[in-house]
């Protein structure tokens, strides 16, 4: 089974906007997929989304068998901001900061990994490639996380990336978030966490 977390900059997106990808994962992956309608900013800024995802994971860990999922074979996935929340969840579970089964894997689709936005792709694709620098500024301001170095918003800033669930990281070639996703793959591998990497070389964020 998979807990899927929709993207939208922690500000937009809902169950309907990501229904298609959830249905496709369910059908092609032969998974029970549960999508979460977590609280959004600005009405519910950081860490509301993190808290909601943790609560959802804890509840599902104890109840997923009702919907045909194997209790010990749970995974987590998400795109963009949802990929960020999926990565954060895996770290917090490993650190004992929330309860539930250990995910068998994490699927991170063009995830937000580093709030500091230091990578060259943020400058190269700042305009004209769907996700713009201005829109990232907007989402980030509304999410209102107080510290860009906090692993709860910048998973790559965690000082221990070992013993995390195996990851599949998907990046898009024309995406401001491309380089940080790639860095996370290499950082996970260096720490001994298995990480696969799928590159959508000719694609933009949101593909």
Q: Select which of 35, 61, 80, 121 is catalytic.
A: 80
Q: Select which of 52, 114, 175, 179 is catalytic.
A: 175
**18 flagged as catalytic:** no
* Pairing label, strands 33-36, 2-5: parallel
**137 flagged as catalytic:** no
Sign (positive or negative) of CA dihedral 89, 91, 93, 97: negative
**What angle do the packed helices 48-63 and 81-94 form, to 10 degrees?**
60
Residues 6+ apart with CB under 8 A from 175: 110, 121, 125, 129, 131, 203, 204, 205
User: Which two three-digit tokens encode residue 100?
Assistant: 């539930």
- Three-class DSSP category at 195: strand
User: What number of other Cβ atoms are within 10 A of residue 160's Cβ?
Assistant: 11
Cis peptide leading into residue 42 (ω within 30°): yes
**75 flagged as catalytic:** no
Q: List the catalytic residues.
A: 80, 175, 205
């Amino acid at each position: 089974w998979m807990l899927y977390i929709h993207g939208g900059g922690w500000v937009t997106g809902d169950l309907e906007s990501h229904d298609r990808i959830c249905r496709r994962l369910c059908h092609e992956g032969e998974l029970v997929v549960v999508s979460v309608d977590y609280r959004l900013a600005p009405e519910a800024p950081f860490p509301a989304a993190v808290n909601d995802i943790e609560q959802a994971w804890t509840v599902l860990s104890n109840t997923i068998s009702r919907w045909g999922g194997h209790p010990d074979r749970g995974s987590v996935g998400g795109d963009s901001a949802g990929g960020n929340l999926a990565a954060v969840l895996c770290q917090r579970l490993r650190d004992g900061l929330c309860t539930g089964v250990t995910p068998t894997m994490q699927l991170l689709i063009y995830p937000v990994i580093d709030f500091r936005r230091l990578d060259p792709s943020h400058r190269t694709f700042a305009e004209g490639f769907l996700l713009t620098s201005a829109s990232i500024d907007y989402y980030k301001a509304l999410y209102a996380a107080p510290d860009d170095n906090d692993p709860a918003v910048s998973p790559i800033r965690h000082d221990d990336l070992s013993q995390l669930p195996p990851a599949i990281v998907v990046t898009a070639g024309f995406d401001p978030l491309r380089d940080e996703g790639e860095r996370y793959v290499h950082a996970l591998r260096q720490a001994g966490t298995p990480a696969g990497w799928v590159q959508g070389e000719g694609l933009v964020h949101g593909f």
